[in-house]
Amino acid sequence: KQEVTQIPAALSVPEGENLVLNCSFTDSAIYNLQWFRQDPGKGLTSLLLIQSSQREQTSGRLNASLDKSSGRSTLYIAASQPGDSATYLCAVSSLDSNYQLIWGAGTKLIIKP
């Protein structure tokens, strides 16, 4: 049964730093992996979707990587800004879960001005 873990649960860094958020999953037979952002009291916004055949995806200052063999994905945020403060969630779709997304609990990111 697929399980998704995000560690740490919370992270605080000064503005301007580059940072990495981690996501690990137990079953490497995935269909795709998605990273989302959630602002307080809001819904989720899709950031990046990586298909099983891909190793990374980039959008602006964000870069997501995928290593199926080790069951890991990272979200790299370059030159962090206070507006990046939010909770970041990863979710994995796999045949094991009947293609439904299995979610991590998220990492709450605070960027200090």
Site residues for another protein per CB under 8 A: 4, 31-32, 34, 36, 41-46, 49, 89, 91, 93, 98-101, 103-106
**Considering the complex, what minimum distance in angstroms separates the CB of residue 60 from another protein?**
16
**Considering the complex, what minimum distance in angstroms separates the CB of residue 93 from another protein?**
4
> Do residues 100 and 1 lie in contact, with contact meaning Cβ atoms separated by under 8 Å?
no
Q: C-alpha angle 109/73/10, rounded to 5°?
A: 20
Between 28 and 32, whose beta carbon lies closer to another protein? Answer: 32
Q: Coil, strand or helix: which one is 84? A: helix
d(CA 64, CA 86): 17
Between 72 and 108, whose beta carbon lies closer to another protein? Answer: 108
Between 79 and 95, whose beta carbon lies closer to another protein? Answer: 95
**Considering the complex, what minimum distance in angstroms separates the CB of residue 101 from another protein?**
5
Both tokens assigned to 98: 């009947």
Q: Rounded to whole angstroms, what are the CA distances from 101 to 9, 54, 69, 90?
A: 20, 18, 19, 9
Between 71 and 106, whose beta carbon lies closer to another protein? Answer: 106
**Considering the complex, what minimum distance in angstroms separates the CB of residue 83 from another protein?**
18
